Structures are given as C-alpha cells and as structure tokens.
Amino acid sequence: MDNIGLELFTKGGVVAYILLALSIYAVAIFLLKLYHFQAKRVLFGSGTFVDQVISNIKSGREDIAIKVLDKKMASPLAVVMRRAISLHNSGSTTDESSIAKEELESDGRTQLEYLGSYIRGLDAVAHLSPLLGLLGTVLGMIEAFRQLESAGVQVNVAMLAGGIWEALITTAVGLAVAIPALAAVNWLEGIVERVRQDMGDAVTRTLAALRRAE
C-alpha cells in the first residue's frame, strides 16, 4: 500500500481497520477452502474415474472397480460409490431398503458438510462489509457536519467536500471487501453443488451397473 493509499485508509477510522480484519479473515477462509477442495480432488473436476469404475462393474470386474475406488477414497464420489457397492453386496439394496438409502444419504451429507464448512463465514463477510462501510460513512458524515456546525460563519465548500469524501472512504473499502468475497462464495458453493449432483449421479449409475451385472 503506497503512502497515498495508506493515508486514505487511515482516514476511514476504526471501521476501516475492522474491514481490513474482515478481509484478512475472508482470504484465510478462501485459502483454507482451496486446500480442502484440492485435498478432496474436487477443485478441477471430481469424477474422472467414475466411467472407469462403471465400465469395470458392467464387465463383471467388480474387484478391479473396488481397487480403483480404494485408490480414490479422498474423493467424495469414491466414498459414496464404495459404500453403494458394499451395501449392494450385503443385500441391503435389493429391496430398495430405506435403511440403505439413509446410509448413502448420510455418507453424502458428511462429505458435503465438510466441503461446505466455513463458507458461511465468508458469506457473512460479503454481507457485513457493505453495511460496515455504510456505518463508517454515516459516522464520518456526522463528524463532518459537527465540524461544520463548530465552524459557524467560517464554513466553506472545501470543508464540506473534504468531510464528505473522507466519510465515503469506508463505503469504498466495504465494497472492495464485499465484492470479491461474494464472488468467492458463489464459486465455492457452485463447486459444492456440482459435487452434490455428481455424487447422486455416481450412486445411481453404480447401483444400476451392479444390478445389470448380476
């Protein structure tokens, strides 16, 4: 941050520093979620192995399909597909058992809850930052008009303009924090939703392939 930018920022007062803290918090959450998504192999696509597994099951090579899944257990799709195979082999899915369905849904929810963790905190930053920026502007305007009142007959346009632009700094900072935070929330939630759909599709295809191979 150059000297001019630092000077402008400090004129934002306490609210500007609160927004700075929120921006650091938002960046930390975003980096943490990138790590989570990369660890779960969902950041740049989550189901490159699904077709291979389904093909092996249809060809009667279930043992190979299981070996592929065991190597991919970091992926939520591999977890639910492996669970579907186990339940099918135990006979739990032959009668559309509600217990089997609940177990699969439970495994899926666990994976999605992990992927969706902390995103709410980032969403809170995106929604609170503009409000804090507006609060800072209102407080700054109050202070500006208080100074104008104190100046009495010596009031001039330059004093009024200076007070207003200083007050608007916090609004600008609030928007600067909120816009990328909101964009990050939408992107992260889009990945979680994609994984949700991929898991449902993977389980359906797995069970269908297992029944066909019987």
Domain boundaries, the chain: 3-213
Q: Using CA atoms, how far apart are residues 144 and 170, in angstroms rounded to an integer? A: 14
Between 30 and 138, residue with greater pLDDT: 30
Sign of CA dihedral 7, 9, 15, 20: negative
Residue 1 confidence (pLDDT) above 70: no
Q: pLDDT tens digits for 128-159?
A: 999 999 998 888 888 777 777 776 666 666 66
Q: pLDDT tens digits for 93-125?
A: 555 556 778 888 889 999 999 999 999 999 999
Distance of CA 93 to the CA centre of its chain: 34
Which pLDDT value is given to residue 152? 64
